[in-house]
A and B are shown apart, each in its own frame.
Chain A
Amino acid sequence: MKLDSIYKEEKKSAFAKLSEIIITMASRPSGLIGLSILVFHIILAFISPYIAPHDFKAIDPTLMLQAPSAQYWFGTDDLGRDVFTRTILGGRTALTITFFGSLIALLWGGLLGIFCGLVGGKIDDVVMRIVDAFLSIPWILAMLLIVSLLGTSTEVLIPALGFFYGKGIVRVARAATHDVIAKDFIVSARARGHSNFSIIWNEIIPNVRDAILVEGAMRWSWMLLGFSSLSFLGFGVSPPTPDWGLMISNARGLMSFAYWAVIAPIVGLSSLIIGINLTADAFAKALGIDRSTKAPV
């Protein structure tokens, strides 16, 4: 009876556990700052279409490169579009694409990593060689090649980003699985005659989940960095979609006399990346995982 109640308590606490983790994260100043920035950006991404004061694609030659004023808070760009409107809308595409991209990366990277860690042997060797090879192709070259040949639509970018940022997760998931697999409770589960699937689902995944989630959170910020670099280079979303990377690259040529058009998207993008990074760091610390000694691969 008593055992049963302990078991129940652990089961029901998924939500309680999450809020506990969030409270731990928010108890450090860096975690609190990161979380607030991230939440702010997410809320902004949801409500910005309703609060935008102007039309983001309304071109008006008479309003070219206006300095910030009461009507145009952040000024206007080289086509007379309102920079404030475009800045608050500029994070939506990036956030959506990288969020779903990270989910895909987590899924395939995590599952393949666990699989490799479990089966070991020849299959593991071959897969890890291929993963290593993919790791040694610079991300920018691979991404550029894909988008230049397949186009820059969302349907291409999400799986492409998800694929390329998942290969690093394979390694982490595999290492975590290796750590778990030698433990006694796996041996005893095998002795009890549990199926492979049941062992993966009930024993391994709960134990490697934290490491993989932290890795996925980190991936998110790198993916955002990669995605906005693509936009900046002109290989990401296409104009007139408001996007920070694209806005920076457009406004860059004119920044000697219209610095506002470049500063606003810079603040938007930098704050989001810093927010995700601090949150991921705090998340790792709250779960007791030290990843500061890891290289960003």
Chain B
Amino acid sequence: MLFLIIKRILLGFITLFIVSIITFVGTEVLPGDACTTYLERQAFGEQLEACYRRLGLNVPAYERYVSWALNAIQGDFGYSLSGEMPIKDVLGPRIKNSLVLASAAIFIGIPIALILGIITALWRDKLPDVAISTVTIFAMTIPEFISATLLILIIAIWLEWLPGIVIVPTDVSFLELLPNIILPVVAIAMIMTAHMARMVRSSVIQVMASEYVQMAILKGVPYWKMVFKHVLPNALLPAINVVALTIAWLLGGVVVTEVVFNYPGLGRLVIESISNRDLPTVQALAIILASIYVSINLLADLLTLMLNPRLKTLQIRK
């Protein structure tokens, strides 16, 4: 058990290490370095030299990687190109805002997904299932920027219920942020919920078809008791990992949604820093987003390990 946990954590770190190399090599081998892309036509002579020195680009690549990685582990990502601000100061409030957005979507999305998934599985191919499944197919396939645009058009422009575009400074307090985040949260939660509801549905259907559930039915266990005691614990456990992967995958969608709503989070920073060719910030963002992905998956793995008694005994026996 302990061995397994340590192994998972180590694997996570190895993945992050490879990600850091990929982003470093990626920004290195692609044509143009940070200075030439940033300075564009003024990229010659003294200015270029000065920029190289400022960013420390005049030392060999592997040395730069080592010093960058060592600093990055301590949370210091160096300076951004355009703003001349330490990247960690830029990142701080952005991370907080994005976390608020994503966690709100997750906390709304997971319960709804569970309920919808269970309903559709128990009434499989009946009216509730057909109706809900049709809606979830629409919600999960339509890209975030479309659902977000439609939400703005209908709720903000036609009905005028909520502000359509977030116009707040980056370091705003939570209460001021609240009315602004409702629409972005709905836009993200919709697609997330639809994905998860479908997975819960098929997981529950699989367990319902298993032999021990048939056995329980034959034995005369009351239906709802069987559902809650025998079906759900077994159905939801394997869903945890898949849900984690989905959440991690939807990070990309959060980026797009933040742009549509002009939300001051990590996602908009991704677009801004890439538009400004701010490669140091891009590297930092790649590492941070990858760490979020790795830690969500790690968390899901550990949760599954803790909740699954079979895996525990398996490890002890080994």
Contacts and interface: CB of A to CB of B under 8 A. Distances in A.
Interface of A: 30, 129-130, 132-141, 144-146, 148-150, 221, 225-226, 228-229, 232-233, 235, 245, 248-249, 252, 255-256, 259, 262, 266, 269-270, 273-274, 277-278, 290, 292-297
B277 A137 contact: no
Interface of B: 14-16, 18-19, 22-23, 26-27, 30-32, 37, 137-138, 141-146, 149-150, 152-153, 157, 195, 198-199, 201-203, 206, 238-239, 241-246, 248-249, 251-252, 255-256, 259-260, 270-271, 274-275, 277, 282, 285-286, 289-290, 293-294, 297
Contacts of A290: 202
Contacts of A278: 137
B37 A149 contact: yes
B149 A134 contact: no
Nearest to B138: A274
A259 B154 CA distance: 10
Contacts of A252: 149, 260
List of 9 A-B pairs having minimum Cβ-Cβ separation, nearest first: A295-B245, A133-B18, A292-B202, A140-B252, A136-B293, A149-B30, A136-B290, A295-B242, A277-B141
Contacts of A149: 30-32, 37
Given A133-B290, A137-B293, A226-B252, 13 more contacts: A129-B14, A138-B255, A140-B252, A141-B255, A141-B286, A150-B30, A232-B145, A266-B150, A274-B137, A293-B202, A293-B206, A293-B239, A295-B199
Contacts of B152: 255
Contact of B252 (A138, A146, A273, A294): A138
Contacts of A273: 141-143
Contacts of B32: 149
Contact of A269 (B15, B143, B206, B251): B143
Contact of B289 (A141, A146, A255): A141
20 contacts: A130-B18, A133-B290, A135-B293, A137-B23, A137-B289, A137-B290, A138-B290, A138-B293, A140-B256, A141-B285, A141-B289, A144-B270, A149-B31, A225-B143, A226-B252, A229-B145, A262-B153, A273-B141, A273-B143, A293-B203
A136 B30 contact: no
B65 to A, nearest CB: 15
B103 to A, nearest CB: 17
A295 B294 CA distance: 15
B286 A137 contact: yes
